[in-house]
Structure formats: C-alpha cells, structure tokens
Amino acid sequence: MKTILAAYSGVLKGTGSSILSALQDLSVAFWPCRSKMEKHLQVISVLQWVLSFLALGAACTVLLVYMFCTDCWLIAAMYTAWLIMDWNTPKQGGRRSSWVRNWTVWTYFRDYFPVRLIKTHNLLPNRNYIFGYHPHGIFCFGAFCNFGTEATGFSKKFPGIKPSLATLAGNFRIPVLRDYLMSGGERKWRALECVLLKPITTIVGEPITVPKIEDPTDEMVDLYHTMYIKSLQCLFDKYKTRSGLKESDVLYIQ
C-alpha cells in the first residue's frame, strides 16, 4: 500500500515523468511513430493505385466469367447487360463522383511523391480548355492526382472548371475498372505515354486562345503549335529550379 501511495505522490510532485516516459516507450514498441505510419499509408495508397491499374480489370474480368458458371450467373448477366447499355458513357462526359475524388487516400497518394499543383493564371469558367500535360508517364501519377482527384485542390484553385482526364479507350472496356476511372472524371482518349519520375510538380500556365476554325490550313496549325511550344518552354524555364531541376537544364521538344 505504501508503494502505491509513494508512486501516486511522485506523480503529483512531477517525479512521475519517468513512468510516463516508460509508458511512451512501451507504446512505441507496439505502435509505429506517426511519421512512419504516414509513410506506410503513403506507400499503400500508391500501391493500391498501381495494383488497380494493373490487376483490377483482369481480376474483375476473370471473376465475371467465373460467375457465369456459378449460381450467381444472373448477377453477371445483369452487369453485362448494363455494361453494354453504358458502353458510350466514357466518351460522353463520363460519370464523376465528388465522393471518390475527395477520398482521404488521395492525400497520402499526393504526399508520397509529393505532387504539387501551381496556379499561374486565372481560368474563366465560361470557356473550354485543353491541358497539355508534359511529361505524364505510364501510370500518369501527376496527371491523375491533379485532375482525377481533389488532393491538390484543383476545384478550389480553378472554381467552376470540371477537369476530365483523358486516358486510353481500352481502359473503358474492362469491367469495374472503367467505373473506377470514370468516378475520378476520366474520359476516353487515345494517347501514348512516357515514363515519369518523382517528385511531380504540375504548373498550369497562361492559356492560349484558339478560335474555332472549320478547315485550318497547315500554316495556321503550325502557328498555334509554335505558340504552344514557346509557352511551354517559357513555363519550363521559369519554374524548373522550383521543381528540383538545375538552372542549366534545357527542355528539348521533338
């Protein structure tokens, strides 16, 4: 009883810090520190995206075929029928979900690289824009994080503009994966991708106004293409040091 009272008295006098320290050491032994936990969550968030991109479609396709051979064939038939009716949705604007775009997992996804979105100019919400993203990569980590989620605050930085990330048409022919992609605002497109390394900084530059021309000549196409390349090079030179590059680095466009 005296031992208990002495320990209690020690806490009141401030000498119980050693006990608290021992308890903290014990908790660390069983639970990782906050920084390590966040790092683990960042890795898991990226891993789930990579696995979803590589395996979700294949796994769901195999599962759908398997279900046709079981008592659950009716569910598989209903989903297939709905898939056929919904076939053109990806090229008609998709089916975005604000709930999916604001998942907490995307903040960990953002912090892993990290991914940043830098705004240099205001964009009028009553106009349509085409964002040229250079370079992107096989998995398009930066483009997906900036335009397919709200992790970098796109809607707050550019209010009134709804981004639609274009991706390969074949991705929308795969069960379940197509719905996962569309929930982030992705749409059907045809493109060839290159490799992207971290960190990732996306800079939205000054827009180039292009009038609607029914039958443009080669000279007009070259004119706007030259304007775009010049704008891209100026943007690169202005922000390259902030993105981890050296002042001597040069952007080559082929």
Query: What pLDDT was estimated at residue 69?
Result: 93
Residues of the chain short of pLDDT 50, as ranges, are: 1-16, 23, 26, 190-198
Query: What pLDDT was estimated at residue 11?
Result: 37
Domain membership flag for residue 222? no
Total number of domains in the chain = 1
Domain membership flag for residue 153? yes
Show Cβ contacts of residue 174 under 8 Å, excluding neighbours closer than 6 positions.
57, 58, 60, 61
Query: What pLDDT was estimated at residue 170?
Result: 83
Backbone angles phi, psi at 148, to 5 degrees: -100, -5
Domain membership flag for residue 77? yes
Residue spans of beta strands (DSSP E) within 31-125 = 115-119
Domain membership flag for residue 219? no
Query: What pLDDT was estimated at residue 4?
Result: 32
Query: What pLDDT was estimated at residue 18?
Result: 53
Query: What pLDDT was estimated at residue 13?
Result: 43
Yes or no: say if 43 and 112 are a contact pair by the CB < 8 Å rule.
yes
Query: What pLDDT was estimated at residue 73?
Result: 94
Eight-class DSSP state of 63: H
Domain membership flag for residue 4? no
Domain membership flag for residue 177? yes
Query: What pLDDT was estimated at residue 149?
Result: 94
Which residues form the domain of 39?
34-113+121-193
Query: What pLDDT was estimated at residue 103?
Result: 94
Nearest Cα residue to 163 out of 143, 142, 185? 185
Compute the Cα dihedral for 119, 122, 128, 129 and give only its sign: negative
Query: What pLDDT was estimated at residue 20?
Result: 53
CA distances (Å), origin 42, targets 45, 86, 113, 183: 5, 34, 9, 21
Domain membership flag for residue 202? no
Classified as helix, coil or strand, 227 is helix
Measured between alpha carbons, how far is 91 from 220 in angstroms, rounded to an integer? 28
Domain membership flag for residue 145? yes
